[in-house]
Amino acid sequence: MEKVAVRRWKSGRESAEWDVVLEEAPLEIRVSASFKAQRFLKTLAITMRTPGHDEDLATGLLFSEGIIKSHDEITLIHRAGDGALIVDLAPWADVDWTAFDRSLPLLTSSCGVCGKKELPKMSDAIEASTARIKPKTFASLEAELEAVQASFTETGGSHAAAWFDAEGNLKRFREDVGRHNALDKLIGSLLKDGSLPLADSILFMTSRASYDILQKAIMAGIPIVAAAGAPSTAAIELAERRNLTLIGFLRGDRFNVYTGSWRVG
C-alpha cells in the first residue's frame, strides 16, 4: 500500500488530502521442469498482482492450471537476480507444455483463461461432497471476512478469496488486486499444508463468479462457491455439470442459489 496525494471533492468543496492505494506490480513466474527427458526453463506467466504471498500465488497457479498434481512435485521456489520467481519441479513431474500455453505471457490482474489453448483437466473431488449448509451460515460470511480484510479496509481496492468450514468459521483468506490471484494464493497455501481437497467447505469470493473462478474451485475440490457479485452463464453451466453449489449476490442474509440448492437448507 502506498500514500498518494489527491484532490478530494465533497459537498461541492475541494481539499488536499492523502489517500492509501493498493500496490499492483508485475511478477514473472518461471518454471524449471523436465519434458521428454530434457530440462528447460520457461516463463509461465507475467502477472500483475499485489506483492505478498508470491510463492503461494505461483503454487496455486501451477495447481489450478493442472501443471502439478501435488506440492511434492515442487522441489524449490526461489528468486532470480532480476526478481522473477523460479519454481523448480521434480524430475518426475513431466510437464506437457502443450496443455498450458498462453499466446501472450503478460496476464492482467483480471485475467483468468486468457490465451489458453485448452482448459485443464478438472478434479472429480466435488462429486463426493454431501455438505448441507444452513442459510444463516451464509449470512455471516461477508461480515466475518470484512472484519479481517486489512487491505480492503485501507484501500477499498482488493479482492478476497476466503475458505470457510461448513459451520461458517473463517479458516483462511488471501487478498489481491486481482480476484484470480487472490484465489490462486489461497489454493497455493492450502496445497502446501496438505489441506486439499476441501470437502464440505465454502469458498467465498468478494468478486463476481466467472468460469475460471469455478474451474479453480473444482481443482481444489471445493463443493460450494459463494460470490458477492453475479455469476456468468458459463460459470452456472460448469457448476451444474460438476455438481457444485453456486451462490451469487451474497449480501448479508440475501443471496441467490443458482445450482446445487440441495446443499442449502
The confidence score (pLDDT) of residue 19 equals 84
Q: Which amino acid is at 146?
A: E
CB 260 within 8 A of CB 209: no
pLDDT computed for residue 115 by the predictor: 45
CA 119 – CA 100 distance, rounded (Å)? 8
Residue 248 has pLDDT above 60, yes or no: yes
Least confident of 65-69, 127-131, 156-160: 127-131
Return the C-alpha torsion angle 163, 184, 196, 77, nearest 10.
-130
Distance CA 214, CA 236 (A): 9
Q: What is the pLDDT of residues 171-222, one digit of tens each?
A: 999 999 999 999 999 999 999 999 999 888 999 999 999 999 999 999 999 9
How would CATH label the architecture of 125-263? 3-Layer(aba) Sandwich (3.40)
User: How far apart, in whole angstroms, are the C-alpha atoms of residue 108 and residue 128?
Assistant: 34
Q: Name the β-bridge partners of 88.
A: 32, 76
25-107 and 125-263: same fold?
no
Q: Is the pLDDT of residue 76 over 60?
A: yes
The pLDDT value recorded for residue 114 is: 47
The whole-number pLDDT of residue 99 equals 54
CATH 3.10.20.10 is right for the domain spanning 25-107 = yes
Going from N- to C-terminal start, the domains of the chain cover 25-107, 125-263
Active site residue 114: no
Distance of CA 22 to the CA centre of its chain: 18
Catalytic-role residue among 44, 87, 107, 111: 111
Share of the chain above pLDDT 70, in %: 87
pLDDT the model gives residue 95 = 76
Higher pLDDT among residues 122 and 93, named by residue: 93
Q: How far is CA 38 from CA 74, 91, 92, 95, in A?
A: 17, 10, 12, 11
**Residue of 201, 207, 203, 211 whose CA lies nearest to 238:** 211
Burial label for 181, CB within 10 Å (0-12, 13-18, 19+), is: buried
